[in-house]
Amino acid sequence: MALRAAAQGVSSRRSASGVEEHYAERASSSILLVYDGRRLEPGLERILLSTLERAYADLAQDFGSGPVEKIVVVVYAERDFQASTLAPAWADGVFDGRVRVPARGITGVTPELLSVLKHEMTHSFVHFRAKGRAPTWLQEGLAQVEEGKSSAPSASALAGAYAARGTFALSSLEGGFTGFSAAQARGSYAVSLAAVEMLKDTRGFGAVAHLLDRLGEGLGVEEAMRETLRADYARLESDLADWLRRRAR
């Protein structure tokens, strides 16, 4: 299962290992692509950049606006990705101020690579709008929605878990997932996706974008939720349980 991490404590520093020093760069109006020119197939950087531009345009349409600065996307050779990002083993991309993805022997833009890129670029949009203050469940839910994932396959399992425990424990998912085991991460990503899909469905994407803006202005998570979604955590969870039960049928 493809999972993508959003590192806490975002910074736009270069990787500590210095592997990017010999990397080549190629820029468009909104993207700076940084890549290992010796290992990427010739011509692929051009294809990658236009793919990134299209993904950026899709995101800008949903979010209404994008980051002021260019989004930096670093494409690593596989072993460089592990060395540079210290990403958990289950992550296949990272956003820490820059989008960092491993090129697993790619010769073209596969649907899998496109979904990783779109996922990580969403983190960049969310980071910009909420000024780094969005809870992780909201970040990861939005990133998965934008990469095209659906919570339909996990709807009945999630509804069952809520029926058994009486909570989704969403408020415990405000911090990062990077310390989680693969199984914990899988469950946390699933409930994050469902929560954001439900909000998009019942409140609209505009309300979720407005939530990001209010978080960016410094409001607390529940305060911003009450104002933009007419919900605190308890209400959000009961709405989510109802929504999942309808979908699980």
- Is 224 a binding residue for Zn ion by CB under 5 A? The answer is no
Q: Does 7 bind Zn ion (CB under 5 A)?
A: no
4 scored as a contact of Zn ion (CB under 5 A):
yes
* Smallest distance from Zn ion to CB 196, Å: 12
Query: Where does this chain touch Zn ion (CB under 5 A) — which range of 33-41, 143-151, 171-179, 236-244?
Result: 143-151
Q: Which of 49, 117, 143, 195 binds Zn ion (CB under 5 A)?
A: 143
59 binds Zn ion (CB under 5 A): no
- Whether 108 and 48 have beta carbons less than 8 Å apart is answered as no
Give dist(CA 213, CA 134) in Å, integer.
10
Report the nearest approach of Zn ion to the CB of residue 107 (Å): 25
Minimum CB distance to Zn ion, residue 123 (Å):
6
With tokens 């592990």, the residue in question is 82
By beta-carbon proximity to Zn ion, the closer residue of 149 and 247 is 149
The answer to whether the beta carbons of residues 91 and 189 sit under 8 Å apart is no
Does 118 engage in binding with Zn ion (CB under 5 A)? no
Q: Which residues contact 129 (CB under 8 A, 6 or more apart)?
A: 63, 65, 209, 212, 213, 216
**Does 113 interact with Zn ion (rule: CB under 5 A)?**
no
Is 196 one of the binding residues for Zn ion (CB under 5 A)?
no
Residue 190 binds Zn ion, judged by CB under 5 A: no
Query: With binding defined as CB under 5 A, does residue 100 bind Zn ion?
Result: no
Give exposure, 37-75, as e/b (b: 16+ Cβ within 10 Å): eeebeeebbeebbebbeebbeebeebbeebbeebbbbbb
The correct pick among 6, 106, 185, 224 for binding Zn ion (CB under 5 A) is 6
Would you count residue 210 as binding Zn ion (CB under 5 A)? no
Residue showing the smallest CB distance to Zn ion in the complex: 4
Q: Which residues contact 188 (CB under 8 A, 6 or more apart)?
A: 137, 140, 173, 177, 180
Sheet holding 91-95, edge to edge: 3-6, 91-95, 99-103, 71-77, 31-35, 24-27
| Residue 101 in contact with Zn ion, rule: CB under 5 A | no
- What distance in Å separates the CA atoms of residue 40 and residue 212, rounded to the nearest whole number? 36
Binding residues vs Zn ion (CB under 5 A): 4, 6, 140, 143
